[in-house]
Amino acid sequence: MVLSLRDLVIGYTSPLCQPMTFDVECGESVVLVGRSGVGKTTLLSTVLGMHRPLSGTVLVDGINVHKIKYDDLARLRSTTIGTVFQHGELLSTYTAEQNVILPRLLANKSDSHVTDEAIELLKELRVEPSRLGSDLSGGERQRVALARALINHPRLILADEPTGSLDPNMRDEVIELLFAVTQRNNAGLLIVTHDPIVASHADRIVSLD
């Protein structure tokens, strides 16, 4: 398994939801659903090691993300975890290609294959590599964000409302790409969403109470 949560309680001064225990296997897609404020985005932040749980453990690829040094955590995020945010979170003055290759260059500045891989990913996702982030449509931004999440061949992909800002047609296109590409790469996929259409694509749904 690539992600394992054991008796995890998330929150700030008090718990946001009941303790959680579940796993995500490589090649498996899991969707998190629940009312607003129950802690879905906080859970993703906890998995990333950005927020400490009140109790319990988070293991990513067998590593407890809250028991390692900051540099090791940063390396784990860049090499093992890919993240897709709701609005893409791209650098507007960088091209699509530059946005995609940045995480790989941060991990390995001498990588000679990253440009070819980025262009191939963007070609598959139908985005012109030379276009600036500021000139991309909402759907294109999400496709670039997906390419960026995949460029380091992560074993786990986290997606926070990845289609929340898209119209229905673009939502369907992006979500099909997200599920298809992550499955093909045998990555575990954990998605936070309010959208039942997105949830219907998943292997499993976890409801936070």
The domain that holds 24 is classified in CATH as: 3.40.50.300
Mean pLDDT of the chain: 90
- pLDDT over 80 at 164, yes or no: no
Q: What is the pLDDT of residue 87?
A: 67
Q: What is the pLDDT of residue 195?
A: 86
Residues 37 and 41: their CA atoms lie apart, in Å, by 9
Query: Given the structure tokens 């294959």, which residue do they identify?
Result: 113
- pLDDT over 70 at 59, yes or no: yes
Dig out the tokens for 76 from the structure: 């784990």
Residues 46 and 42: their CA atoms lie apart, in Å, by 6
Higher model confidence: residue 176 or residue 188? Answer: 188
Residue 170 pLDDT class (50, 70, 90 cuts): confident
Residues 148 and 36: their CA atoms lie apart, in Å, by 28
pLDDT digits (tens, 9 = 90+) for 77-126: 988 999 988 766 899 999 999 999 988 887 666 677 899 999 998 998 88
Closest CA to 201 of 55, 28, 69: 28
Q: How many domains does the chain have?
A: 1
The interaxial angle of helices 168-184 and 138-150, nearest 10 deg, is 10
Beta strand 188-192 with 29-33 is parallel
Verdict on whether the full-model pTM lies above 0.95: no
* Boundaries of domain holding 129: 3-207
pLDDT digits (tens, 9 = 90+) for 190-206: 999 888 889 999 999 99
Rg (CA), the chain: 17
pLDDT digits (tens, 9 = 90+) for 123-160: 988 899 999 999 998 888 888 988 999 898 899 999 99
Q: Quick one: CA dihedral 34, 199, 81, 59, positive or negative? A: positive
Question: How many residues comprise the chain?
Answer: 209
Counting Cα atoms < 13 Å in the Cβ hemisphere of 110 gives: 0
Q: What is the pLDDT of residue 172?
A: 85
Closest CA to 32 of 163, 117, 159: 159
